């Protein structure tokens, strides 16, 4: 199963995709929120033959649902009208911090980190989802 992951922000959406085995996540792109982003993401779902979308769900550190999580819920409801695959919300607490740490450890320069942070955060979200799914399957 191929999974497309989204890190939905106010200005940009990071996109990542799994390999066909559902084991590894890789970055794809960053989509600007221009009003045409639903169509762009629907095109990415088709291009990558994705079976599912996982959208990062930014809960507060205490697990409650705050303003940003409600914005993602609204975005996902809108996106669902443009795609034919299921969309699942996935807890993304600290995904951007983890993405920043990974890029810093890889020696990425600050300007590259700023340019790629959303897509890398989507890959972090997706890898977390894939790892949890693999754990459920092996139980």
CA distance 73 to 87: 11
pLDDT at 139 over 50: no
Q: Could you give the number of structural domains in the chain?
A: 1
- The contacts of residue 4 (CB under 8 Å, 6+ apart) are 15, 16, 17, 18, 28, 41, 44, 45, 48, 50, 52, 53, 54
- Bridging pattern class, strands 52-57 and 25-32: unpaired
CA distance 72 to 57: 7
pLDDT of residue 80: 98
37-47 vs 67-80: helix crossing angle, rounded to 10: 70
- The contacts of residue 93 (CB under 8 Å, 6+ apart) are 58, 59, 61
The 10 Å Cβ neighbour count of residue 100 is 17
Mean pLDDT (the chain) is 87
More confident position, 7 or 95: 7
Task: Provide the CATH number for the domain around residue 60.
Answer: 3.30.420.140
Output the pTM of the full model. 0.85
Parent domain of 120: 3-138
pLDDT at 10 over 70: yes
Q: What is the pLDDT of residues 14-70, one digit of tens each?
A: 999 999 999 999 999 999 999 899 999 999 999 999 999 999 999 877 888 889 999
% of residues, the chain, pLDDT over 90: 60
More confident position, 92 or 130: 130
């Amino acid at each position: 199963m191929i999974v497309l992951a989204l890190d939905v922000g106010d200005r940009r959406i990071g996109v990542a995709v799994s390999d066909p085995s559902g084991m590894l996540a890789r970055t794809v792109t960053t989509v600007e929120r221009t009003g045409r982003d639903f169509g762009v993401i629907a095109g990415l779902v088709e291009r990558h033959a994705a079976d599912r979308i996982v959208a990062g769900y930014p809960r507060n550190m205490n697990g409650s649902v705050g303003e940003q999580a409600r914005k993602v819920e609204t975005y996902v409801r809108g996106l669902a009208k443009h795609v034919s695959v299921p969309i699942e919300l996935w807890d993304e607490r600290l995904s951007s911090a983890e993405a920043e740490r990974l890029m810093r450890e890889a020696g990425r320069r600050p300007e590259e980190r700023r340019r790629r942070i959303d897509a890398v955060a989507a890959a972090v979200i997706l890898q977390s989802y894939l790892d949890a799914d693999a754990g459920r399957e092996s139980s």
